[in-house]
A and B are shown apart, each in its own frame.
Chain A
Amino acid sequence: MIAAWVAATAAIGLALAAALAALGAARIPSLLRRLALPLFGLVGVAAATAGTLTLLGGGVDDIQLPLGLPWLPWRLRLDALAGCFLTLIGLLTAAVGIYAPGYVRGFEQGRDSLAMLGAGSGLFLAGMLTVVLAADAMLFMVAWELMSLASYFLVVFHHDQPASRRAAFLYLLMAHVGGLAILLGFGVLAAFGHGFEFAALRAAPLTPGWATLAFALALLGFGMKAGLVPLHAWLPEAHPAAPSHISALMSGVMLKVAVYGFIRFTFDLLGEVHWQWGVATLALGSVSALYGVLMALLQNDLKRLLAWSSVENMGILFIALGLALIFLGEGHAGLGALALVAALLHAGNHALFKGLLFLGAGAILHSTHERDLEQMGGLLRRMPWTGLFFLIGCLAIAGLPPLNGFVSEWLTFQAALQSWQLDSGVLRSLIPVAAAVLALTSALAAAGFVRVYGIAFLGRARSRHVRRARPESRGMRLGQGLLAAGCVAAGLLPTPLIGVVAAVPEQLLGTGLPQATARGWLWLTPIAPEVASYSAPALALALAVAMAVAAWALRRGALRRVRRGDPWDCGFGPLTTRMQYSATAFAQPVRRVFAPLFAVDAGVELEAPGRLRYRVVIGDRLWKLLYAPFATATDGAARRVARLQSGNVRRYLGWTLATLLVLLWIIT
Chain B
Amino acid sequence: MRKVKARLQNRRGAPVVQPLRDLRKLFVKEVRVAHGASPLFRAAPYVVFGATLLAAASVPLLGVTLPTATFADIVVVAGLLALARFFLALAAMDVGTAFGGMGASRELLIAALAEPAMLMAVFTLAMTAHSTNLASIVAYQLDDALALRPSYLFALGALCLVAIAETGRIPVDNPATHLELTMIHEAMLLEYSGRHLALMEWAAQIKLALYAALILNIFLPWGIAETLGAPALGIGLVAILLKLAGLGGALAVVETVLAKMRLFRAPAFLNLALLFGLLGLLSHVMLEVGR
- A interface, CB within 8 angstroms of B: 377-378, 380-381, 391, 395, 398-401, 406, 410, 413-414, 416-417, 419-420, 423, 425, 428-429, 432-433, 435-437, 439-440, 442-444, 446-447, 450-451, 453-455, 457-460, 523, 529-535, 538-539, 542-544, 546-547, 550-551, 554, 557-559, 561-570, 575, 577, 579-582, 585-590, 592-593
Alpha-carbon distance A216/B123, docked complex (angstroms): 31
Instruction: Please tell me if the beta carbons of A550 and B46 are within 8 angstroms of each other in the complex.
Output: yes
A382 to chain B, nearest CB (A): 11
CA distance A377 to B83 in the complex (A): 22
Nearest Cβ distance between residue B239 and chain A, in whole angstroms? 24
| CB pair A580 B90 closer than 8 Å | no
- Residues on A with beta carbons closer than 8 Å to the beta carbon of B68: 542
Tell me which residues across on chain B come within 8 A of A592, comparing CB atoms. 264
Chain A: minimal CB distance from B138 (Å)? 12
Known pairs A534-B71, A581-B105; A436 contacts B131 (CB<8 A):
no
Contacts A547-B50, A557-B27, A581-B101 given; indicate if A447 touches B96 (C-beta within 8 A): no
How many B residues touch A, CB cutoff 8 Å? 88
Q: Are A581 and B108 in contact (CB under 8 A)?
A: no
Contact B136 A530 (CB under 8 A): yes
Question: How far apart sit A565 and B98, CA to CA, in the bound complex (Å)?
Answer: 17
Q: Mark B83-102, 1 if CB is under 8 A from A, else 0.
A: 10110011011111111111
Known contacts A377-B96, A399-B79, A459-B94; A436 and B28 CB within 8 A of each other: no
Given known A-B contacts A575-B97, A593-B267, A529 and B70 have beta carbons under 8 A apart: yes
Q: Provided the pairs A444-B112, A459-B96, A539-B54 are in contact, do residues A395 and B86 lie with their beta carbons within 8 angstroms?
A: yes
For the complex formed, measure the closest distance between the CB of B126 and the CB atoms of chain A, giving whole angstroms: 5
A567 with B120: in contact, given A447-B111, A531-B130 (CB under 8 Å)?
Answer: no
* B72 interface neighbour in A381, A534, A579, Cβ under 8 Å: A534
Q: Whole-angstrom distance between the alpha carbons of A406 and B80 in the complex?
A: 10
Q: List 21 A-B contacts (CB under 8 A).
A: A378-B36, A401-B79, A413-B75, A420-B289, A425-B291, A432-B123, A443-B113, A443-B116, A447-B109, A454-B93, A459-B95, A531-B130, A531-B131, A532-B75, A532-B133, A533-B70, A544-B50, A550-B49, A554-B195, A566-B34, A567-B96
Q: Which residues on the A side are within 8 Å of B98 (C-beta)?
A: 579-581
User: Once the chains bind, are A458 and B46 in contact (CB under 8 Å)?
Assistant: no
Determine the chain A residues whose CB is within 8 A of the CB of B286 once the complex forms: 425, 429
Tell me, in angstroms, the Cα distance from A550 to B114 when the chains sit together.
29
Given contacts A535-B70, A565-B33, 4 further A-B contacts (CB under 8 A): A436-B278, A454-B92, A530-B133, A593-B264
Asked if A593 meets B109 with Cβ closer than 8 Å, knowing A378-B36, A534-B73, A565-B33, the reply is: yes
A563, B31: Cβ atoms under 8 Å?
A: yes
Most B CB contacts (10 A, CB to CB) among A437, A453, A551 go to A551
Partner of B115, one of A381, A406, A439: A439
Chain B residues with CB under 8 Å of chain A are: 27-36, 38, 40, 42, 46-47, 49-51, 53-54, 57, 68, 70-73, 75-76, 79-80, 82-83, 85-86, 89-90, 92-102, 104-106, 108-109, 111-116, 118-120, 123, 126-127, 130-133, 136, 180, 190-191, 194-195, 199, 263-264, 267, 274, 277-278, 281-282, 285-286, 289-291
Residue of A nearest to B202 (CB): A550
Q: Distance (Å) between the CB of B22 and the closest chain A CB?
A: 16
Give the distance in Å from the alpha carbon of A177 to the alpha carbon of B185 in the complex: 49
A410 proximity list for chain B (CB < 8 A): 75-76, 79
Tell me how far the C-beta of B169 lies from the nearest C-beta in chain A, rounded to whole angstroms.
19
Q: Which residues of B contact A428 (CB under 8 A)?
A: 285
Taking A450-B93, A539-B72 as contacts, is the C-beta distance between A436 and B35 under 8 angstroms? no
A529 to B97, CA, bound (A): 47
| Minimal beta-carbon separation of B27 from chain A (angstroms) | 7
The CA-CA distance from A401 to B71 in the complex, in Å, is 12
Chain A residues within an 8 Å CB radius of B29: 559
Does B274 contact A436, Cβ atoms closer than 8 Å? Answer: yes
Complex alpha-carbon distance, A244 and B73, angstroms: 38
Q: Judging by beta carbons under 8 Å apart, are B80 and A401 in contact?
A: yes
- Which of B54, B97, B127, B281 is A542 in contact with, Cβ under 8 Å? B54
Q: How far is the CA of A542 from the CA of B130 in the complex (A)?
A: 27
Query: Nearest chain-A residue to B93 (Cβ)?
Result: A454
Note all chain A residues with C-beta closer than 8 A to B127. 417, 419-420, 432
A580/B264 in contact, CB under 8 A: no
Complex contacts, B79 vs chain A, CB 8 Å: 399-401, 406, 410
